[in-house]
Structure 1
Amino acid sequence: MTSASPETLLDALKTSFAASLRAPDGVAPPAALLWTDADGHWKPLLPALMKALPELYVLGPYAPEERQGPVIWLKCIVERTLPDVSPAPELAPILYLPNVARQDLRAGGDFPAKERHLMPLVELQYRGAVWHQRNGRDWTVEAILTSEDALGLDVARDQRTRDAMLRALPLLAEEPIAALRGRRLEADDFDRLAIGDPIRDLLTWMSDREAFEGRCDAGRWATFRDVCVREFGFDPDQDGIQAAADALLHGGGKWNEVWQRFCDAPNLYPGISAVLRQARPKDLLGLVDQSRRPGLNDEREDKLRAALEAVVDLAHAQACDKIIALDEEHKERRGWVWAQIGESPYAVALEPLGRLARAARRPLGGATVEALIADYASEGWRCDRAAIEALSSLKPGNENNLVTKVVRALYEPWLDRSARRFQELLSTDGTDPAKLASGVSADRETCVLFADGLRLDLGMMLLERLEARGLKARMSHRVAPIPTVTATAKPLASPAHGACSGGADAEDFYPLIAESGKPANAQRLRDAMARQGVEVLDAEEARMAVGAEAGAWAEIGKIDSLGHSLGSLLIRQLDPEIEAIVDRIEGLLSAGWGAVRVVTDHGWLLLPGGLPKVDLPPYLVATKWARCAAVQGGSTPTVPTYPWYWNPLLRIASPPGIGAFLASTEYTHGGVSLQECVIPELIVERGEAAVAASITEISWRGMRCRVAVETNVSGLKVDLRLNWKQAKTSIVAAPKELGSTGETSLAVSDDSHEGAAASVVVFDQTGRVLDNKPTTVGEET
């Protein structure tokens, strides 16, 4: 199923029953649900189903205490004339009819003599509902396992597999389906459910003892107990979970394999963390692997939390130094298994916080405004990116937590100092802000792609994604005009900027189309470009313009609009927005454009909790936005003012530093800061050399596969699949990214794959397979 997938076969059945009983608005609910099973294949599952579904009744010999009886008894259940055994009023009875085909009921009056006892049920087809697939066929065991409307497993279609599947049906009832996904299931896979995977069973028992033991009959429990005694040296009956937890903590022998299996796929065993918290170490100092102690991880997280709380109140330089020291102290824990299951959020957040602290303690340099801009375009943007990534490390709903406060403590002083230095240099005698800004030209066979609000750090992210896809991209930067709002800045970012001129006032910050004297809004800019011979493409349109000597114009992206509507929650949307821009660029190049020039109008400031409020009396200005205001006549505000780009005789007021004229502003633009003014420009062409990757070595040590790859790019990932073309056949917890040396390792957590034919696959960020080579799982070389 594509969403809200059931965890077990029982879950899938209950969900499917409920869907069959659901009635449209205005229609009476079904009186009952008829479940026909011509071959009786579902019978082995009845004990588990009878426990889970009190409304389930079975056609058979009269045995009311077992909720079983003949047809006339079932009719009484439907009519609720037997209150002692009828279901609750809100539950429609489910009537399981073993060895009865749906065609038998549909035959109506044509029943053969031996089946005429079923005739009273015929009318329930119309007053009730019949459980069947979308195609009208009965739900078989195979269908419920393989259909995308149910469990969606990949099951082989041979008879041996079907027989093993039916034998394993009682064991499948409450088997976690997650353990069966990602590979093709064959007869041996179902048989192993009965034979058991000792390490998996042990971890499953430790993770949820009650659920595991509830799925075991006496024979299976005896087998499990015997395996534990023989292979792991403890008796689950006599020694209990405590002994297993102690053994897993200390390791040694077979228990090291148990630990490795848990580390390879910890999310399959969510209860292990709680179990290990109860473990009793014999000697803490002598414990070989301290990372096995979730309690120790908790202690260090608590200690780190307290340290982060103290950082918020430190002076900026001290705060930066403290975060860097904490990052060194706790970086080891990012490799512990507890980080994978979300139990080390502060240690994980320290990685981008450490980068933020290192960048924020370095002031931007330059004696001139041009030198300062160059320093920011070269290195300063890294501080912005680290702040965004630190905020992105938070789980949704925790945007106002401690990490956010630390980001603000590190980022805000650096941000404000940088802005004030930029404003100081921009206001020096002889500096004309308008001369720093430049317009965008259109070239033959080049499509100008306008990406709204593409800040410089996001431009760098875009560059990395483009190169990872094998595209050739060159990055440079421009300076946006003042004020850095769309109305003023977008005309300059378009090839129609030469057709624009300033008006007599700057109240709405729009220049005018010189020919008409009307504001240069989006549609008028497109019309002006079209008059210049620029081909204007609609959204998602990627056609190659024929004879368009002035190239083309296209637009994409909602970064700015999302920022205004979401505030600091914008960080959740940045990754898909960047991916959408990459896809658009690829589409334009594939359509035949020789190059794509990516431009934007302005950047922005983002600070959780809001930018500092700056007061500006309304009588001094004609228009006031968060970061800019049009000065009224000859008024002289106490805040800095700058000439409007389109008419330097008019003045624009801007708050000092990163202040805002409006309170509680988290995201905005329009002012004078490096983040708002220094914007990216990229030229993207189809790469001359394709992305290349070649698997040069595959070796196995136990169930861990080491892979070496030669490649000309970074960011590639490696997977291990049963079918190299299908990502869903992966047999590892998750693909691994290649290290800087071109090597990585993959662990197969399910021993049942040992000896299976598989393929090592190398693919790029788009999922495109670049190389694959066959291997045998677990084969020593």
Structure 2
Amino acid sequence: MNLLEKLRESLKKCLRVPEGQVAPVAIIWTDATGEWLALAPRLLAEIPEFFVYGDYQPETRTGPAIWLKCIVDRMLPEAPPNGTTPILYLPNVSRQTLRAAVDCPPQLAPLIELQYRGRVWHQSNGRDWTVPAFLTSAEGMSLDVAQDKRTEEALGRALTLLADADLKGFAGRRLDADDFDRLSVADPIRDLLQWLNSPELFEQSQAARWEAFRNRCRAEFHIDPNDGPEPAVRGIAEARHEFDSVWHRFCDTPSAYPGVTKLLRSPASLAIDASRNPAINASYEAELKKAIQALGSLEHKAASQKVFALEEEHKDRRQWVWARTEQSPWAMSLEPLVTLSKLSQLPIGGASVDAAATAYASGGYRCDEAALDALSRFRETTPESVIMKKAVRALYEPWLDSSARHFQGLVQKAGKITSAPIVGDRDVCVLFVDGLRFDVGAGLAAELEQRGYIIKQGFRLSTLPTVTATAKPAIMKVAGEFLGESSEDFAPTLGVKTASAPVLRAAMAQTGVEILAGSEKLFPSGTERGGWAEFGQIDHYGHEHPDDLARRVKTEIFNVADRVVQLLDAGWKQVRIVTDHGWLLMPDALPKVDLPAFLAETKWSRCAVVKGEAAVPSYPWQWNSEVRIASPPGVACFRSGEKYTHGGVSLQECVVPDILVTAGGKVTSASIVSIDWRGMRCKIKVESNDSSVVVDLRTNWKQPASSIVATTKKIGGSGEVNLVVVDDQHEGAAAMVVLLDTSGSILDQKTTSVGEKA
């Protein structure tokens, strides 16, 4: 246990009261000599209910006595929530001062009565807790510390380092000044960055080491901190060789030093290397944003050429440190626009329906993938999202429309499209995912492959029209025959009942298919027809929130992959992922064409039942060839304002994934349940079917060399590990908890912040 953990434990014990007594309203922490003051910044950062007596600075939870009393009485917005007891730290105030009510200084008077409603944190002998007393007392750390002046001074210098140091190695021997000085030997690069990040706080917390810090800076960096941060900032910005190590350390964890970023943006930073000045990067970002905004008014060819030119100008900035701190969103967003520009040069061709579908499934879908990626870069409610939508439309719509028109011509020649229904197989569970478009299915296949499963990916053709009511009945072989007597809702009948989802499931069950309800993980009973399960919200979310669908897709991929893993873990040997139809997504709505009302009995956005001769292409209905289904040309709609829709004839709507997932041998599955920080120690709880799963903490989840812990650990039978970040330069930095199997493949990852409170 480290000093900080023991302090929190001791303060918690201070709250305990016998049954029947009222709990204290506050904990009073008096510190006559101010020797605990160096720990105040850490305590403020880690304990929300910690408050400090001092000048009025509510943003740092510091204020005079009357302000602290108002905090205790919940009269201010800064007060902690009910049920949480405030801790009032009083530097340079002794307990005796508060108890001497008559002689107590007026500025402390509001706190006198809190001694009786609250609880004073002190030793059992009634004295204030000093640092040496807490380290040596059985109520504290129970360490053997020398009682000489030199050790006391060394202890003061090392106090902030003791906060996180594991003191188990100190047990059983006497600790003297040399022991504590070894702890307080500073890392000059880290210290310089911490000073630049927050000069005043650093100088306050490291007052005892200030002269030593100055000496190291003069020797190693040829600057004197007494001259202020500007010389160091210039040295970093101008890429002087003595500051190379400082710059590289900053680049490792830039989010840990926001103050350094601010200084590098200042006029004092006249960077020779433009990549070292965030202000230059921001200027480039503004120019790029304006250029991308102009794409929306250009023809496809001109827009593509402009994107290629912008890429040459800005691609290097994706490697600058500012991209990792989310200060280069447009440089990062340019990447999928470049992919979209390249892939949209030629529409999908092919001499037959099968040839076109094969071309699309073999790589043409990546154009849709790039469009979704670009649209996902900004939240839908932001001005940046509006700019990106117009740029995507300029690059994407011409390719999408031309590809659709060519495919429609092929389908008209063929007269009809469909795929044979699936006949269930023993120990295979068919997982139906509504609206799993081919590109999203490819992303799902990649995710499952990343998790170690064997993937066989193919495609099927949906039916016409590409709506659930028509297409879902065509997926699975059922008992009975579908009839298209009424086309009002594009749904066939099965016997005398409309082929709704419950009717379809009942008909499948009659053939021996096991039907899994909801998230059920029914173990296969050995039926020859396998199982059927349904999962996913892609189509529902698309209709309800089209502007946010691009961002939602990744979440849906992870959710469906988790469901597949559940089924395989339950004993199914294979999971076959299928869907009913795909969809079109176009920012600011797809174009509209008119279909006279007198020509249609039923009209949806991308399909209509034709009464007579329609002026738009028409196709036979899947369940009754006498019924003609009109579909607008290209990617147009019969209704205005449609951003997300399906029902028509396009590769995106008609070519759907068919993915077979096999567990092979034993496949390790693991997921992160919780991450809990205590200082620089991270406790991770994992759910897994394999005790040999390894847990690591990395700044880059793909790179083992970016690990920031002393050693990785296996979860063992408990499913819990504790990892320690040994270098406090990483405090506050973004990191990834990573789970790995014995081959080093990543099973799960989750973002955290080093030292973050739960």
TM-score by shorter chain over 0.5: yes
Q: Is the contact between residue 203 and residue 258 of structure 1 (CA under 8 Å) also seen in structure 2?
A: yes
Q: CA deviation at 1:93?
A: 10
Matches within 5 A, 1:67-146: 69-71=97-99, 73=101, 85-86=109-110, 95=118, 97-99=120-122
Give the SS at the match of 1:578: helix
Separation of aligned partners in 2, 1:511 and 1:760: 48
- Of the candidates 637, 642, 646, which is equivalent to residue 669 of structure 1? 646
List per-residue Cα deviations over 1:15-43 (Å, max 9, x = no partner): x99xx99xxxxxxxx99624278999997
Per the alignment, residue 257 of structure 1 pairs with: 245
Per the alignment, residue 729 of structure 1 pairs with: 723
Separation of aligned partners in 2, 1:602 and 1:729: 46
Q: CA deviation at 1:384?
A: 0.6
Matches within 5 A, 1:586-601: 586-601=565-580
Per the alignment, residue 302 of structure 2 pairs with: 318
- Of the candidates 383, 394, 402, which is equivalent to residue 378 of structure 2? 394
Per the alignment, residue 188 of structure 2 pairs with: 198
**Residues 46 and 473 from structure 1, CA distance in 2 versus in 1: closer, same or farther, beyond 3 angstroms?**
closer
Return the letter of the residue paired with 1:97.
V
Q: CA deviation at 1:420?
A: 1.7
Give the SS at the match of 2:429: strand
Matches within 5 A, 1:292-311: 292-311=276-295
Q: CA deviation at 1:236?
A: 2.0
Separation of aligned partners in 1, 2:119 and 2:385: 53
Separation of aligned partners in 2, 1:176 and 1:392: 45
Give the SS at the match of 2:466: coil
**Residues 558 and 351 from structure 1, CA distance in 2 versus in 1: closer, same or farther, beyond 3 angstroms?**
same
Q: CA deviation at 1:465?
A: 1.8
Q: Is the contact between residue 724 and residue 761 of structure 1 (CA under 8 Å) also seen in structure 2?
A: no
- Of the candidates 416, 435, 452, which is equivalent to residue 433 of structure 1? 416
Per the alignment, residue 483 of structure 1 pairs with: 465
Matches within 5 A, 1:365-376: 365-376=349-360
**Residues 403 and 31 from structure 1, CA distance in 2 versus in 1: closer, same or farther, beyond 3 angstroms?**
same
Per the alignment, residue 417 of structure 1 pairs with: 402
Q: CA deviation at 1:520?
A: 1.0
Separation of aligned partners in 2, 1:480 and 1:388: 22
Give the SS at the match of 2:545: helix
Q: Is the contact between residue 441 and residue 495 of structure 1 (CA under 8 Å) also seen in structure 2?
A: yes
Give the SS at the match of 1:676: helix
- Of the candidates 485, 491, 497, which is equivalent to residue 504 of structure 1? 485
List per-residue Cα deviations over 1:88-142 (Å, max 9, x = no partner): 99x99984514266xxxxxxxxxxxx98x9xxxxxxxxxxxxxxxxxxxxxx999
Separation of aligned partners in 1, 2:499 and 2:162: 61
**Residues 522 and 191 from structure 1, CA distance in 2 versus in 1: closer, same or farther, beyond 3 angstroms?**
farther
Q: CA deviation at 1:356?
A: 0.9
Return the letter of the residue paired with 2:315.
K
Q: CA deviation at 1:619?
A: 4.6
Q: Say yes or no: does 1:656 pair with 2:648.
A: no
Q: CA deviation at 1:629?
A: 2.6
Return the letter of the residue paired with 1:86.
P
Q: CA deviation at 1:210?
A: 3.6
- Of the candidates 524, 530, 540, which is equivalent to residue 551 of structure 1? 530
Q: Is the contact between residue 448 and residue 599 of structure 1 (CA under 8 Å) also seen in structure 2?
A: yes
List per-residue Cα deviations over 1:250-272 (Å, max 9, x = no partner): 23343110000000000000122
Per the alignment, residue 213 of structure 1 pairs with: 203
Return the letter of the residue paired with 2:517.
D
Return the letter of the residue paired with 2:493.
L
Q: Say yes or no: does 1:609 pair with 2:632.
A: no
Q: Is the contact between residue 493 and residue 601 of structure 1 (CA under 8 Å) also seen in structure 2?
A: yes
Give the SS at the match of 2:456: strand
**Residues 762 and 352 from structure 1, CA distance in 2 versus in 1: closer, same or farther, beyond 3 angstroms?**
farther
Q: Say yes or no: does 1:533 pair with 2:512.
A: yes
Per the alignment, residue 342 of structure 2 pairs with: 358
Per the alignment, residue 574 of structure 1 pairs with: 553
**Residues 230 and 247 from structure 1, CA distance in 2 versus in 1: closer, same or farther, beyond 3 angstroms?**
same
Return the letter of the residue paired with 1:203.
L
Matches within 5 A, 1:28-39: 33-35=25-27
Q: TM-score, length-normalised on structure 1?
A: 0.70
- Of the candidates 260, 278, 287, which is equivalent to residue 272 of structure 1? 260
Separation of aligned partners in 2, 1:93 and 1:420: 83
Q: Is the contact between residue 184 and residue 722 of structure 1 (CA under 8 Å) also seen in structure 2?
A: no
Q: Is the contact between residue 56 and residue 96 of structure 1 (CA under 8 Å) also seen in structure 2?
A: no
Per the alignment, residue 744 of structure 2 pairs with: 763
Q: Say yes or no: does 1:404 pair with 2:421.
A: no
Per the alignment, residue 700 of structure 1 pairs with: none
Per the alignment, residue 233 of structure 1 pairs with: 222
**Residues 673 and 185 from structure 1, CA distance in 2 versus in 1: closer, same or farther, beyond 3 angstroms?**
farther
Q: CA deviation at 1:453?
A: 1.4
Separation of aligned partners in 1, 2:153 and 2:236: 35
Separation of aligned partners in 2, 1:176 and 1:383: 55
Give the SS at the match of 1:613: coil
Q: CA deviation at 1:359?
A: 0.4
Return the letter of the residue paired with 1:554.
A
Q: Is the contact between residue 741 and residue 747 of structure 2 (CA under 8 Å) also seen in structure 1?
A: no
Q: Is the contact between residue 393 and residue 587 of structure 2 (CA under 8 Å) also seen in structure 1?
A: yes
Q: Is the contact between residue 334 and residue 344 of structure 1 (CA under 8 Å) also seen in structure 2?
A: yes
Separation of aligned partners in 2, 1:665 and 1:383: 21
Return the letter of the residue paired with 1:315.
E
- Of the candidates 452, 456, 463, which is equivalent to residue 474 of structure 1? 456
Return the letter of the residue paired with 1:355.
T
Taking only aligned residues, the RMSD between alpha carbons, in angstroms, comes to 4.7
**Residues 604 and 47 from structure 1, CA distance in 2 versus in 1: closer, same or farther, beyond 3 angstroms?**
closer
**Residues 83 and 169 from structure 1, CA distance in 2 versus in 1: closer, same or farther, beyond 3 angstroms?**
closer
Q: CA deviation at 1:542?
A: 2.5
Return the letter of the residue paired with 2:278.
P
Q: Say yes or no: does 1:625 pair with 2:604.
A: yes
Separation of aligned partners in 2, 1:353 and 1:169: 56
**Residues 83 and 198 from structure 1, CA distance in 2 versus in 1: closer, same or farther, beyond 3 angstroms?**
closer
Q: TM-score, length-normalised on structure 2?
A: 0.72
Q: Is the contact between residue 568 and residue 606 of structure 1 (CA under 8 Å) also seen in structure 2?
A: no
List per-residue Cα deviations over 1:707-759 (Å, max 9, x = no partner): xxxxxxxx9652533231268737599xxxxxxxxxxxxx9969xxxxxxxx9
Give the SS at the match of 2:225: coil
List per-residue Cα deviations over 1:488-529 (Å, max 9, x = no partner): 111112332x63423322111211112xx1111111111111
Per the alignment, residue 148 of structure 1 pairs with: none
Separation of aligned partners in 1, 2:596 and 2:473: 30
Per the alignment, residue 50 of structure 1 pairs with: 53
Separation of aligned partners in 1, 2:153 and 2:68: 21
**Residues 570 and 233 from structure 1, CA distance in 2 versus in 1: closer, same or farther, beyond 3 angstroms?**
same
Percent identity (aligned) = 39
Q: CA deviation at 1:621?
A: 3.0
- Of the candidates 192, 212, 223, which is equivalent to residue 212 of structure 2? 223
Return the letter of the residue paired with 2:416.
P
Separation of aligned partners in 2, 1:92 and 1:658: 75
List per-residue Cα deviations over 1:440-470 (Å, max 9, x = no partner): 2211221111122111111111221222222
**Residues 291 and 160 from structure 1, CA distance in 2 versus in 1: closer, same or farther, beyond 3 angstroms?**
farther
Separation of aligned partners in 2, 1:603 and 1:765: 30
Return the letter of the residue paired with 1:405.
K
Return the letter of the residue paired with 1:663.
S
Separation of aligned partners in 2, 1:224 and 1:530: 77
Tell me how many residue pairs correspond in the alignment. 632
Return the letter of the residue paired with 2:334.
L
Give the SS at the match of 2:589: coil
Give the SS at the match of 1:221: helix
Separation of aligned partners in 2, 1:599 and 1:410: 30
Give the SS at the match of 1:562: helix
